[in-house]
Structure formats: C-alpha cells, structure tokens
C-alpha cells in the first residue's frame, strides 16, 4: 500500500516541465475568466469589500431561466467531533425559515410559483446551495436566498422533522454497495482523522435534535457561514452589471464574521501539527464482506493531497493510465484473463488526502480467492510499470493529455441545465482562482 502510493508519486515527479497546466496558462494579472472559444456568455468577477464575498455574474442572453448558487467553504471535515453529520444537518435546516421569511415552506413555495427548483449538497470541505427560477423571480428569489446566510431561524420545532429526513437519507445509503465500500475504506484511516469520519448524520449522532444540538448548529453557522468563506454565482439574461447590483442589494448584509481562513489539513500534516490520515499501521488492510449484488473489488490508494496541484493534473494522469482500455492496459489484461467485467476509477481530492479508488466488477472466477490474488498481483505489476516509465514516456503522455484537454475545453458547451451550471461554478469558485473556474 504505502510503497505503491510512493511509487505512483515518484512516477509523477518526472519531467516537471511536461506537467504544465493541461489547458494553458493563466489569464494574466487581471481577474478575467478564461472561457471556451465557442462560449457566448459574458463573465464578471467581483469581491465585495464590505464582507469579503466572492461573486461571479454570468450574462447569458439565451438562458431560459435565471440561476443562483452559493458555495460555503465548510463541510463535513468541520463537524464537531461530538456531532457527526452536523454540516449536512445545517444544510437541510437553512431551507426552513429565516427571520425575514419565517414560514418554513416559504422558500419552496416561492420557487414553485416562479417555475423554480432548489437543491443542496454537503461535501467534505464545502456545502453548495443551488437554484433556478424564472427571470421574473430572480430579484426576490435572491432576497429570500440571501437570508439563509444572514439570519436563519433553526427553529427547535423543525429540527425533529428534518432530523428524520437526514436519518432517512442515511438509511437509503445502507443498501448501496458502492456507498458501503466507500465508507468502509475511508474508515481504515486513523480514527482521529477527518478522512475516517461519518458525514451523513443520524438521529443518534445528532443527539436526537435536542437543545444542545440546536445550540451547536447556531455556533457552527456563525463560525463558518461568513462572507470570506462564501462564493456567489448568478446566471441570468440580465447584464452582469445589473446582476451585481442585485447581489449587492441582497448579499451585502451577509456578515463578514470572524471565521478565519479555512483549514488546510495537508499543511497541518506537513508541519506535524496533525498526523497523516494513513500511517503504516493503517495501510495494507483487507476487508471482505458478503453481498447479494455484483461481486466487486475496491482498492484504495491513499496519496498525499494533490488538490493544490490542479495545474499539473496528477489525478488526470493516473486516471488516464489506469483507465486506458487499449492493448497492454490493466483493463485488457484482466478482462483477457476472465477476472473482471468492468474497471472504474474514482479520485477524491481534499486538502487532507487524495484517495484513488480502483474499482473492479468481478467475474465468478475473479471473485474466488485465487482470482482476487491474481487481480491484485496484476494491479501492482502495472503500478510498477508506471513507476519505471522514463521521463520521455511520461512527458509524451502529458503532451497527449494536454492536447486532448485543450480541444475539449475550447469546444465544450455550457451545461444544458442552469441548476447544473450554477452548482458547478459555485463549487469551482471555492476550489480554484476565479480565472480558472471554467477550466
């Protein structure tokens, strides 16, 4: 486990010059969003000096609806240790009434009346709220949405009801084989690591929504939901200037607060202020469980954090090399041997770690003990091959990836859904500099 991870990173260390940003350089000193050649939309970025809110306005004359989203740079990694799932629970409760609009159903009712919809999700280091609405409902919709981040009520009588919704979401995940495997593999990390935490929340983990849970919710919101930790994205057929005017009108009251900077878990690990999530005692583990679904083998390789290295795209390199289906590839060898039906890859990047999952759907022969050993042996043999690649070979792969990525970016089309567009952009705003949110 540890040696394989080190070998992969060693391979990535070759030929740094070949590892340039896959889609070209930065846009320059000014905040100008780089966009595809065929993109007719107009983008304008602003930072609101009063509260530190980062804002991106997108003018799309063809948009059938308007959209708006906020990404908050806090998620499940920020749960208090005694309240697993609190960040997710907070996401749910923000929809259920604010001081200005106290009726818990008022936001949903307004969106429905204006041909709109809304949703949200909580990740490890961000929470994203996203909406679409008719152009006529944009201004008031923004007013109602802004109140989530200004003065939510967290009404005690709503807590129990919404706690049942969170608990049901957890119960829905239990039969999902992929979700179970993901949870179990993360649990092999150190118990005191944010990587191994339980993120969804249950009735028990959230203390049955008692008064202490509500008080902790308020503290969490105050500590993390403040202007410098938030990014707002809008899409409308209005000019970007008009969108920014509306944003100022409704979001200037978002408090600057005293959040402080987000936690860089990788930096804390590097400076010995926090132990790494995986030490030698937490690697090389093998877990076997029964299933009524397709036999599967998941192999997780914990790597040092790579999120900051997005310009060099190490995860893209790994996904390409491990996922390639041509002659001599890992996939073709295992399929030819009759051991797998499918190979998939997943990369989870956070500041704490990059987790590379190699996921196999096994044949009956592959699910036998000898078959599992052969799949693992072939996998590690392939990883050794990657480690032995020369500088020239690595540079050649990166050149191909760069060309493909450039073409894909320049001729990409905007998502057909305004909801998808604002959600993706808001998440990107919390991960990348403004000029690179589309790239």
Dihedral pair phi/psi, residue 348, rounded to 5°: -105, 115
Catalytic option among 44, 59, 73, 91: 91
**DSSP per-residue string spanning 84-125:** TTHHHHHHHHTTS-BSSS--TTHHHHHHHHTT-EEEEEE-SS
Handedness of CA 389, 391, 393, 399 (dihedral sign): positive
Counting Cβ atoms within 10 Å, is residue 283 exposed (0-12), middle (13-18) or buried (19+)? Answer: middle
Provide the total of helices (H) and of strands (E) in the chain, helices listed first: 15, 9
**DSSP per-residue string spanning 150-207:** T-B---HHHHHHHHHHHHHHHHHHTT-HHHHHHHHHHTTS-TTSGGG---S--TTTTG
CB 347 within 8 A of CB 323: no
CB 402 within 8 A of CB 22: yes
CB 66 within 8 A of CB 118: no
CA dihedral 244, 250, 253, 259 (to 10 degrees): -70
Q: Which long-range contacts (CB under 8 A, 24 or more apart) does 326-333 make?
A: 330/378, 330/379, 330/382, 333/378, 333/382
Beta bridge partners of 160: none
Cα–Cα distance for residue pair 236/239, rounded to 1 Å: 8
Per the annotation, the verdict on 91 as an active-site residue is: yes
Cα–Cα distance for residue pair 165/267, rounded to 1 Å: 36
Instruction: Give the residue numbers marked as catalytic.
Output: 91
């Amino acid at each position: 486990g540890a040696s394989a991870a080190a070998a992969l990173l060693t391979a990535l260390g070759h030929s740094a010059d070949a590892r340039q940003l896959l889609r070209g350089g930065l846009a320059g000193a000014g905040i100008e969003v780089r966009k595809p050649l065929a993109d007719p939309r107009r983008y304008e970025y602003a930072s609101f000096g009063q509260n530190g809110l980062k804002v991106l306005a997108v003018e799309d004359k063809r948009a059938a609806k308007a959209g708006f989203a906020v990404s908050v740079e806090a998620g499940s990694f920020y749960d208090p240790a005694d309240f697993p799932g609190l960040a997710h629970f907070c996401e749910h409760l923000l929809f259920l009434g604010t001081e200005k609009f106290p009726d818990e159903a008022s936001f949903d009712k307004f969106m429905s009346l204006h041909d709109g919809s809304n949703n949200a999700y909580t990740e490890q280091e961000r929470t994203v709220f996203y909406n679409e609405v008719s152009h006529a409902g944009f201004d008031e919709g923004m007013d109602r949405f802004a109140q989530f981040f200004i003065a939510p009520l967290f009404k005690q009588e709503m807590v129990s009801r919404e706690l049942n919704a969170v608990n049901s979401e957890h119960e829905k995940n239990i039969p999902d084989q992929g979700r179970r495997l993901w949870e179990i593999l993360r649990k092999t990390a150190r118990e005191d690591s944010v990587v191994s935490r339980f993120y969804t929340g249950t009735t028990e983990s959230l203390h049955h929504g008692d008064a202490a849970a509500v008080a902790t919710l308020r503290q969490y919101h105050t500590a993390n939901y403040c202007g410098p930790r938030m990014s707002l994205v809008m899409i409308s057929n209005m000019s970007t200037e008009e969108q920014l005017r509306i944003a100022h009108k409704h979001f200037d009251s978002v408090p600057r607060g005293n959040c402080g900077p987000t936690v860089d878990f990788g930096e804390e690990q590097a400076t010995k202020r926090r132990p790494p999530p995986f030490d030698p005692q937490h690697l090389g583990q093998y877990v076997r469980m029964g299933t009524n679904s397709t036999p599967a083998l998941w192999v997780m390789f914990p790597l040092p954090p790579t999120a900051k290295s997005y310009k060099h795209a190490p995860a893209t390199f790994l996904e390409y090399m491990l996922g390639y289906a041509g002659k001599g590839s890992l996939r073709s060898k295992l399929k030819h041997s009759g051991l797998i039906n499918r190979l998939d890859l997943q990369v989870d990047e956070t500041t704490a770690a990059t987790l590379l999952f190699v996921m196999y759907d096994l044949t009956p022969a592959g699910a036998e003990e000898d078959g599992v050993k052969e799949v693992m042996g072939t996998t590690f043999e392939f990883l050794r091959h990657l480690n032995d690649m020369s500088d020239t070979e690595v540079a050649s792969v990166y050149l191909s990836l760069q060309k493909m990525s450039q073409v894909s970016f320049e001729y990409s089309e905007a998502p057909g859904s305004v909801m998808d567009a604002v959600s993706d952009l808001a998440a990107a705003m919390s991960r990348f500099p403004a000029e690179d949110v589309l790239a």
